[in-house]
Amino acid sequence: MPVIAVEDSNFDAELAKHSNVVVKFYADWCGSCKLFAPKYKRLSNDERFQGVVFLEVNAEKNPEARKKAGVNNLPTFATFQNGVLQESICTSKEEAVVEAIEKLK
């Protein structure tokens, strides 16, 4: 499943549409965010995570979405279940992101 780019205007609607969601918060200037982008795309196509929707949000341009996930460092990955924040972690380690996604099952 492709990664879906969302903004403040459609963030809540995307969370409401899907029961299991992981969101990557990034900024264009963030080197770690850029390095993680291909890993995130690969994870979105991983068979283990077929029931999870992968979203990405530019944290600098979308302050409302950023607040809902408690983002204060980048990259941050937030998991939501039925629209409710489950976990928000600031990391560039793939294993930590996989562990957070696996908790959604």
Q: DSSP letter string over 15-69?
A: HHH-SEEEEEEE-TT-HHHHHHHHHHHHHHT-GGGTT-EEEEEETTT-HHHHHHH
Range of the domain at 12: 4-102
Helix (H) or strand (E) holding 63: helix 63-69
Dump pLDDT digits (tens) for 45-68. Answer: 999 999 999 999 999 999 999 999
Top-confidence residue, 105 or 102: 102
Which residues are designated catalytic? 30, 33
Supply the CATH number for residue 56's domain: 3.40.30.10
Domain count, the chain: 1
Dump pLDDT digits (tens) for 1-16. Answer: 899 999 999 999 999 9
